[in-house]
Structure 1
Amino acid sequence: MDVLLHFFVGLHIIGIAALLGGFLAQMPAIGKGTARFSKGMLHGALTMLVTGVALVGLNQAEGSTVNNIKIGVKLAILIVILGIVYVKRDEETAEKGLFATVGGLTMANIFIAVLWT
Structure 2
Amino acid sequence: MDVLIHLFVGLHIIGIASLLGGFLTQMSAMGKGTARFNKAMLHGALTMLVTGVALVGLNQADDNTVNNIKIGVKLAILIVILGIVYVKRDDEVAEKGLFATVGALTVANIFIAVLWT
Q: Which TM-score tier does this pair reach, normalised by the shorter chain?
A: over 0.9
| 2:38 aligned partner | 38
Distance 1:100 1:79 in 2: 16
Q: Which residue of 2 aligns with 1:63?
A: 63
Shift of 1:79: 0.2
Cα distance, 1:35 vs. partner? Answer: 0.2
Aligned-CA RMSD value: 0.3
- Letter of the 1:49 partner, please give it: L
Q: Give the 4+ runs in structure 1 shifted more than 4 A.
A: none
**Which residue of structure 2 aligns with residue 94 of structure 1?**
94
SS at match of 2:93: coil
**Distance in structure 2 (CA, Å) of the matches to 1:70 and 1:94:** 30
TM-score for the superposition, normalised by structure 1: 0.99
Q: Which structure 2 residues correspond to residues 1-117 of structure 1 after superposition, within 5 A?
A: 1-117=1-117
Q: Distance in 1 between matches of 2:64 and 2:41?
A: 31
Q: Aligned equivalents of 1:95 and 1:63: distance in 2?
A: 44
CA distance in 1, matches of 2:92, 2:25: 16
Shift of 1:33: 0.4
> Structure 1 regions of 5+ residues with no counterpart?
none
Tell me which amino acid in the other structure corresponds to 1:54: A
**1:91 aligns to what SS in structure 2?**
coil
CA offset digits 1:80-109 (Å, max 9, x no partner): 000000000000000000000000000000
AA matched with 1:108? A
TM-score by length of 2: 0.99
- How much has 1:48 moved relative to structure 2? 0.1
